[in-house]
Amino acid sequence: MKMGSTQQPAWQAASQWRRWLAFNAVGGVGIAVQVAVLAGLTAGLDWNYLVSTVLAVEAAILHNFFWHERWTWVDKTGGRANGRLRRLARFHAANGAVSLTGNVFLMWLFVGSLGIHPVIGNLGAIAICSLVNFFASDCWVFRGGSSEKTREGGGVSIRACE
């Protein structure tokens, strides 16, 4: 759908709504993974909260990619292994970069500067980063279809973001 257009087909709106719900369901479990790893490393092992944040975010990134491949964007991936490493690299480049840098910066701000408890600060950081991650995934990581084959042209097709 191009900018300036006021309506999109009902099937497309329903599909994006389903995808948004699936993204949040996967992300919700990913939050539990991230918080559990963070709590285990900081409270259980007494590790530094920033080092623990990096490891916790990475655990959530891998969890989320696995389920986005198989559920959220299965219509684009078909559950196929073909292109999975390329998608994982893009997922790390987009969602991983946003999640890691965003979480570390926001944890430094919330915990280091404002004195917020690490788990509460982490939940705030996750919420802030999630919107950017959805659009990065939909527009670039799992773009699928014919745009997957047009990389040699040098342009990146951002059909949902146009």
Summary count for the chain: helices (H), strands (E): 6, 0
Contact 161, 139 (CB under 8 A): yes
Provide the percentage of residues in the chain whose pLDDT is more than 90. Answer: 48
Question: Helix, strand or coil for residue 2?
Answer: coil
> For helices 84-91 and 49-67, what crossing angle results, to 10°?
140
Question: What gap in Å lies between CA 31 and CA 147, rounded to an integer?
Answer: 31
Residue-wise over 80-109: b if at least 16 C-beta within 10 A, else e?
eeeeeeebbebbbebbbebbbebbbebbbe
pTM of the model: 0.70
Phi, psi of 144 (to 5 degrees): 55, -170
pLDDT tens per residue, range 45-100? 999 999 999 999 899 999 999 999 999 998 888 878 888 999 999 999 998 889 88
